[in-house]
Amino acid sequence: MGDPCDPFVSLARDTMGHIAMALLTFAADNPGFRETLEPEEADAVQRLLDKRGTTATSPDRHDHLYRNYLGRSDPDDRELVVPSLVDELGLIGKREELLDRIAGMERAGIDEIVIQPVVDPEAEMAALADLMR
């Protein structure tokens, strides 16, 4: 994904970080799923649990984990959005790269893309529509 200090990397994290945080939250709440993650991602799950002051088995974990779920990411959580999650969950890149990636997804049998805009929904949906023309 690149240098974390790069403004484009920060923009990517801010734009799709809520999706990555949703995955990390799900993994924090489901240890079996967490075991399927890459080590850097599993570490981010543990850091999320630590930041929220809870554990995967705590009876009140939902009160701590699901605050602002699928809302715009908290800047304090930006470091949890590790590069592999941006690459795996986001469609970020130049037009040609995105079109190639979407075509590859279609060839692999993926027939649906879920869009969850939160930063500027109208602009994000217009950009997607423009990309797909």
Residue 70's SS3 state is: coil
Query: Using the 8-state DSSP alphabet, how is residue 132 labeled?
Result: T
Cα(81)–Cα(20) distance, integer angstroms: 6
Q: Show the beta-strand stretches assigned E in 11-126.
A: none
pLDDT in tens, 9-53: 677 788 888 899 999 999 999 999 999 999 999 999 999 999 999
Higher pLDDT, 67 or 100: 100
| pLDDT exceeds cutoff 90 at 128 | no
Global confidence as pTM: 0.80
Cα(42)–Cα(63) distance, integer angstroms: 21
Mean pLDDT (whole number) for 110-130: 86
Question: Which pair of structure tokens corresponds to residue 38?
Answer: 């890459």
Domain boundaries, the chain: 1-90, 93-133
Mean pLDDT (whole number) for 96-124: 89
